[in-house]
C-alpha cells in the first residue's frame, strides 16, 4: 500500500526501467504530467494523463510480465 501519492519523477523512472528491460517499445513524456506509452511496435499508443493513473497502468504491466515470466519457467 502506498503511503504517498505517485510523482511524475517516479513514473519517469519506472517507465525508463521497463523500457530498458524490453517491456515497453516506447515511453515519452508529454505536457502536464502525461506520458505516451506503446507496449509493442505494432500496438496503439496509450496516453497516461496523471501520475496515479500511470502507476496503475505500470502495476498492471508488471503483473502481466510476472505471470508471463513465471509461465516461461524463468
Among the ranges given (13-17, 28-32, 51-55, 66-70), the one the predictor scored with the smallest mean pLDDT? 66-70
User: In DSSP terms, which residues pair with 38 in a beta bridge?
Assistant: 26
Write the DSSP symbol of residue 45. P
Q: Where do we find the cell 497516461? A: 48
Q: Which residues contact 46 (CB under 8 A, 6 or more apart)?
A: 36, 37, 38, 57
Model's pTM, two decimal places? 0.85
CB 54 within 8 A of CB 48: yes
Average pLDDT over residues 51-74: 87
pLDDT tens digits along 24-48: 999 999 998 899 999 999 999 999 9
What is the domain partition of the chain in residue ranges?
A: 8-68
Amino acid at each position: 500500500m502506498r503511503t504517498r501519492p505517485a510523482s511524475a519523477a517516479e513514473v519517469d523512472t519506472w517507465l525508463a526501467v521497463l523500457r530498458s528491460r524490453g517491456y515497453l517499445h516506447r515511453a515519452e513524456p508529454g505536457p502536464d504530467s502525461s506520458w505516451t506509452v506503446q507496449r509493442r511496435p505494432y500496438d496503439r499508443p496509450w496516453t497516461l494523463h496523471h501520475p496515479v493513473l500511470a502507476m496503475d497502468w505500470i502495476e498492471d504491466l508488471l503483473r502481466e510480465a510476472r505471470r508471463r515470466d513465471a509461465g516461461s519457467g524463468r
